Structures are given as C-alpha cells and as structure tokens.
Amino acid sequence: MLDIAEELHRWVEQGRDFAVATVVAVGGSAPRQPGAALAVDSDGTAIGSVSGGCVEGAVYELCQQALEDGETVLERFGYSDDDAFAVGLTCGGIIDILVTPVRADTPGREVLAAALSAAARGRAAAVARITQGPAELMGRAILVRDDSEPGSGLGGGYEGSLGGHPELDRTAAGEARALLDAGRTGTVEIGESGSRCGQPLTLLVESSVPPPRMIVFGAIDFAAALVRIGKFLGYHVTVCDARPVFATPTRFPDADDIVVEWPHKYLERTRTDGRTVLCVLTHDAKFDVPLLRLALRLPVAYVGAMGSRRTHLDRNERLRDVGVTELELARLRSPIGLDLGARTPEETALSIASEIVANRRGGSGVALTGAHTPIHPDGVRAPSGRIGSVA
C-alpha cells in the first residue's frame, strides 16, 4: 500500500472512499513482492498493480465489492492449470492479497491516512495490519514512525489499535518497529498466547523509508552514467570530488547533491546506513586509499572501486600498509561491477548497477538460462493452507 502512498494520500485529502488490495505473501515465481498494491476508488479509478497484469481484473472486482459491503477479505490467486489465460498467475506463482475498504466509516481510516501522509512526505513509517485472524480484527492498523523524525512525538509508542488487547497492540508495534529499523516489508506470526484473542495471528508490516543513498566518488564520465542509473533504481545520489572544475551541476544534472571536498573527509561527516552504497571511481591512490580505509569499516551495504586488475592489486597492498585487514578487504568489490564485457560509460554503469542489485537481493549474477536457482529468491512465502482460491 505504501508503494502508492502519494496517490492514495491525495485521495484521502480529497475525501474519497477507496479499497486497496495489498500483496501479503507470495510463493513460487510471483511477479510482485509483499506490499505491492492496487487501489480502486468509488468512481472506478484504479492505480497500482499487484501482479503485473495476471490477475488485475479479478482484484479490481474484489476492490469494488469491498467498497460496496465494507468487508475486508483475504484471497489467494494461483496458477490456472486448465487455462493459462483464466484468472491465475501464468508465471506459476501464488499470491495472497488482502483487500481492505477505506471508507469514511472504516475503523482505523485515520491511522491509514497518517501512514499514507508520512510515506508521501518521505518520512520513515511502518504500518501493521492483521492478514489472518478473527474477522472482527481484519483491516485494523497500527502505525509506528522513526523516533528520530522531527515532530514524530511517539517516543517509542504507536498510533491506532488492532482492536484486540493492549498487549497485542504493543507486540505488533514492537514487530513493526523492528522491520522499520531494517527498512523491510514482511509478515510476522504472533502465537495464540501473544495475540490475546484465542488464536494465532499473521501481520503484514509495510515499511516506508527514505530512498537509500548512493555516493559516487570521482566526477568522471563513468560517474555521470552511474548517477543516471542510480536515480533510475531509486537511490538518492551524491557525487563527491575534490576538484571543483569537474564536480559541477552542468556535468551532473541528475545528481541530488554535488559535493566539492576530499572524499574521505566528506565520508567522515556524512550520514550512511546499512542500505548505503559507495562507488569509488577515482582510481587515484591519493583519493582511494584514505577513502577506502574508512569505507571498509562502515556498516554500509556495498563498497566498490574502479580500476584495472593491476590497479586493484596495487591498491590492496597500499590498503594493507595503512592497516586494513584481510577481513575488511574481503568486503571490497574490485574491480567494480559484473563481467558484462562493458566498454562505454553507460555499459559500465549497467555493470556496476547489476552488481549492486545482485548484492542487495542475493542474486548470483549468472545467466538465468540453464540455471536452477529461484528467479525471486527473497519473497515472503504464502502459507501452505488454502485461503480460498478463485484460480
């Protein structure tokens, strides 16, 4: 739901009633991941997607029905063995979809509205909803936000209620905060005793966090191409170079920030986290060595450095000389990128971006043709029990 927060926030501001269908679990080769959503308003306008086209029509009808009767439903869609063009996932996967009406009389509308507002403004927030449990609790929501956000005022608390018991609310808020801290969307199982309602519950926790950072060191032509593809992938991209003649808005019109400073000094003072990727394209020892010495000790997602294999070997020796350990060196992706046979700046940027995506998603980087590894290895699996299939 939070992946279409800007549009839904506008609908809330306009006072529209709508229903939102959210992917809550997947199995097999499903095209979308948990959190992906499609919404339909009372005029029949639709936004978003839950399957890339496979079951959109059927989900659209479920949303219209939810708007009429006000009922939250959980539906499973799977592969249609008899007719691949009937309602079902022709890719062979399974998706569970929660359809929630958001009408003026919907319990928890205010909480969902607050979550959409936070996500639309780029604030860190997570919303937890029950996807399996007592019918009277379906559709309820709890919102937690990043305590470090100015004006959050939560102090580790939460907004809203799942309608069961205060202990359930506190448990759900704690689980939501843990996933928010990790920047992840996923499902959480709460046992019968923890649910306080006589049966186990499943929660979907959707996290919305600011875009991850990509910091590109070295204002060269390869960097310009990498900035463009970094923006395409949804990163907040910063270019840093100590040479003011090269680090200019004219050369990098797509960058979010351009910093003229020695790279290691900038890295010392700027904010990084576990999603940040650092791309060192300077391949100049006076910049690279102090920068990489620091970068390899930071808890970031990716550190890559450009250069030939000879440059790589020489740089590693220089790093060892300044105290970088073998364990730290093992984190360095160098020469940067996957082997695509890249030549041009654009091809090289694609090679680097491919390695970043593979590192982020756990991909092997090998061709899918002839391989037997999952295409979508990190999906949240649908439970084995039937929920009610229309496939």
- Residues 126-157 have pLDDT tens digits of 989 888 877 777 778 889 987 544 444 444 57
Task: Kindly state whether residues 98 and 124 are assigned to the same domain.
Answer: no
Report percent pLDDT > 70 for the chain.
85
pLDDT, one tens digit per residue, over 151-175 is 444 445 788 888 767 888 888 888 8
Token couple for 328: 């730290």
Q: State whether 314 and 223 are in the same domain.
A: yes
Pairwise CA distance, residues 178 & 374, whole Å:
27
Q: Which residue has the higher pLDDT, 62 or 106?
A: 62
Among the residue ranges 8-12, 129-133, 346-350, the one predicted with the least confidence is: 129-133
Per-residue pLDDT at 252: 96
Half-sphere exposure of 378 (CA within 13 A, CB side): 11
Please indicate, yes or no, whether residues 195 and 228 belong to a single structural domain of this protein. Answer: no
Q: Going by DSSP bridges, is the β-strand pair 213-217/302-305 parallel, antiparallel, or unpaired? A: unpaired
Angle at 11 between CA 186 and CA 153, to 5 degrees: 60
Q: What is the pLDDT of residue 30?
A: 62
DSSP 106: -
Torsion angle (degrees, nearest 10) of CA 22, 111, 8, 189: -20
Is there a domain that residue 377 lies in?
Answer: no
The whole-number pLDDT of residue 147 equals 56
pLDDT of 158 reads 85
pLDDT interval class at 107 (50, 70, 90): confident
The answer as to whether 119 is a domain residue is: yes
Residue 261 reports pLDDT greater than 60 = yes
CATH number of the domain at 355, please. Answer: 3.40.50.720
| pLDDT at position 351 | 96
Q: What's the number of domains the chain is made of?
A: 3
Residue 215 pLDDT class (50, 70, 90 cuts): very high
Task: Indicate whether 134 and 258 sit together in one domain.
Answer: no
Q: Does 130 share its domain with 186?
A: yes
CA distance 288 to 84: 54
* Token reading at 284: 């100049």
Residue 333 has pLDDT above 60, yes or no: yes
pLDDT at position 239: 98
CB 320 within 8 A of CB 328: no
Higher pLDDT, 363 or 347: 347
Mean pLDDT to the nearest integer, 76-82: 64
The residue out of 85, 103, 121 marking a domain boundary is 103
Tell me, yes or no, whether 153 lies in a domain. Answer: yes
In a domain, 390, yes or no: no
Q: Buried b / exposed e across 117-137, counting CB within 10 Å, b at 16+?
A: bbbbeebbbbbbbbbbbeeeb
Pairing relation of β-strands 37-41 and 332-333? unpaired
What is the rounded distance in angstroms from the CA atom of residue 199 to the CA atom of residue 358?
39
Residue 322 has pLDDT above 60, yes or no: yes
pLDDT in tens, 17-65: 999 999 888 876 666 788 889 999 999 999 998 876 668 888 999 999 9
Q: Please name the residues in contact with 331: beta carbons below 8 A apart, sequence gap of 6 or more.
A: 296, 303
Let me know if residue 112 belongs to a domain: yes
Q: Which of 103, 127, 144 is the last residue of a domain?
A: 103
Which of 210, 226, 249 is the last residue before a domain boundary? 210
- Note the pLDDT of residue 386: 29
Residue, of 2 and 306, whose pLDDT is higher: 306
Residues 318 and 196 both lie in one domain: no
Same-domain pairing of 80 and 127:
no
- At CA 89, angle to CA 84 and CA 90, rounded to 5? 40
Sign of CA dihedral 109, 114, 117, 119: negative
Residue 310 and residue 279 in contact, taking contact as beta carbons nearer than 8 Å: no
Which amino acid belongs to residue 316? N
Please give the mean pLDDT across all residues of the chain. Answer: 84
Average pLDDT over residues 229-251: 95
Per-residue pLDDT of 360-369, as tens digits, reads 888 888 888 8
CB 289 within 8 A of CB 322: yes
Which residues form the domain of 281? 213-359
Query: Looking at per-residue confidence, does 8 or 162 come out higher?
Result: 8
The DSSP call for residue 369 is T
pLDDT on residue 193: 66
The structure tokens listed for 185 are 């969307």
- 84-94 mean pLDDT: 56
**SS in 3 state form for 42-59?**
CCCCEEECCCCCCCHHHH
Question: What integer is the mean pLDDT of 4-17?
Answer: 91
Q: Report the run of H or E that residue 201 belongs to, with start and end.
A: strand 201-208
- Is there a single domain that holds both residue 270 and residue 353? yes
CA dist., res. 179 & res. 145, Å (int):
11
DSSP string, 166-183: HHHHHHHHHHHHHHHHHT
